[in-house]
Amino acid sequence: MADTRAEIREFLSSRRARITPEQAGLPVYGGNRRVAGLRREEVAMLTGVSVDYYVRLERGSLAGASEGVLDALARTLRLDDAERQYLFDLARAAAPSRRPRERTSTSVRPAVQQVLDAVSDAPAWVRNGRHDILAANRMGRALYSPVFDSPRRPVNTTRFTYLDPAAREFWRDYDRIANDAAAMLRLEAGRNPHDPDLITLIGELSTQSELFRTRWASRDVMHHRSGRKRLHHPVVGDLDLDFESMELPSEPGLVMNVYTAPAGSPTADALKLLASWAAGQEAAQEAAQDVVRTPPSP
């Protein structure tokens, strides 16, 4: 994010606008309010700061705000865990002494790939904060074959979602996936606002997708830790998968996603078919490589 002050202003004003006085426990007299949400002075009162101080905060001057003030503001605005993290990240980004983070990882150690390969029955892959898929096991590549088949590089699930027409068929809950992808990317932008590759990706999506521009403008943020993913795979059909996202302590910023299905369910049976198809695809690729490597007979 190039303008942290503008982002702070838009985020706080958007969160303030969604809370009614009734929700905040404030009396409402008459019907002449010109704003649907809370006024600045009401946020200041509920937070326990002066009106002038809150106005400075909402104008982008979060630098120097104490953790106590930020906590109180988060409670007033009823921020969830992801929004609270985003608020604190914006405060850190606003600090003049803040040093830019290092560039986000673009590869994994061989040991991480070994862990992925050891998960043989479930699709699994590792991504960075920009949603680049850095490594996957055979089932992960097979499950996300439309994403890997997309010509755009690096392989990126959010770029696929917004810029590849195949995404609307692959994601059965396309609107929710698109919302989640933009919200997750904004959370990463707060955590790592100076990552040049992230800035480039956001610029690419903003210029090429009107839908992304709309989702981005909402300033929603979210964590993506577990849930249900409904896909339509081109080979095995509809899949209803449970997923878990696990941060890798030894690889800051990287997350491993693993997909499973209850034993005996139609999706579990479909995953077995996917495993057979993936093994066949891998065998065919190895055979083709052997042909290339084998010199012609004299």
pLDDT digits (tens, 9 = 90+) for 170-206: 999 999 999 999 999 999 999 998 899 999 999 999 9
Q: Environment class of residue 72 by beta-carbon count within 10 Å: exposed (0-12), middle (13-18) or buried (19+)?
A: middle
Hey, what domains does the chain have and what are their CATH numbers?
A: 4-94 (1.10.260.40), 110-289 (3.30.450.180)
Question: Of 17-26, 215-224, 242-251, 269-278, where does mean pLDDT reach its minimum?
Answer: 17-26
pLDDT tens-digit series, residues 40-98: 999 999 999 999 999 999 999 998 899 999 999 999 999 999 999 999 999 998 886 65
Q: What is the pTM of this model?
A: 0.89
Determine contact, residues 149/172, Cβ cutoff 8 Å.
no
Coil, helix or strand for 270? helix
What DSSP element (H or E) covers 180?
A: helix 174-191
Under 8 Å CB-to-CB from 62, ≥6 apart: which residues? 8, 70, 87, 90, 91, 94
The residue-averaged pLDDT of 274-296 equals 77
Q: Environment class of residue 91 by beta-carbon count within 10 Å: exposed (0-12), middle (13-18) or buried (19+)?
A: buried
DSSP code of residue 31: S
Q: What is the pLDDT of residue 194?
A: 87
Question: Of 20-24, 154-158, 207-211, where does mean pLDDT reach its minimum?
Answer: 20-24
Under 8 Å CB-to-CB from 134, ≥6 apart: which residues? 105, 106, 107, 108, 125, 126, 127, 128, 254
